[in-house]
Amino acid sequence: MYANARSMGNKQEELEAMVQQSYDVVAITETWWDDSHGWSTALNGYKLLRRDRQGRRGGGVALHIKQTFDTVGIETKEDGVECLWVRIKGKANKADILLGVCYHPPNQEEDVDNLFYKQLGNVSRSSALVLVGDFNRADIC
């Protein structure tokens, strides 16, 4: 499941209700989380991975992944790129899946776009790639 929350502050109960639909992965953009929010915790039965926006309000991305999946978070060094990457280990000769959730704010600077393209190239050497997010671009589908 993917959703743009535009602030998770008042949507935690709604998220918990939606997850009862048995989603394996829940990807969220615009969480607006920071370290001061105690309610931004993992849902029951899920691991929570987050990348909060640093230095200004808004933005941020998160993944809730069922605890039954073997996952490895992928560290990236490109500052300003609001993406979170995780490798979900395949089972019994199945390929790993690389999952990314990204938020591209409106009017993002071109140099940050170029950092995103570099990051995507570095992490996407997997044969199975799933990329979701809010790219705020009218010219892509």
Residue 121 CB burial class (10 angstroms; 0-12, 13-18, ≥19)? exposed
Tens-place pLDDT, residues 12-69 = 677 767 666 678 999 999 888 876 655 556 678 899 998 888 777 788 899 999 999 9
Are 49 and 61 within 8 A, CB to CB? no
pTM of the predicted structure, to 2 decimals: 0.80
Which residue in 138, 139, 134 sits closest to 3, CA to CA? 134
Structural domains for the chain: 2-134 (3.60.10.10)
pLDDT in tens, 75-124: 887 677 889 999 998 877 788 899 999 998 888 888 988 988 888 888 87
Residue whose C-alpha is closest to residue 33's, from 65, 61, 1: 61
Return the closest-CA partner of residue 28 out of 106, 113, 124, 134: 134
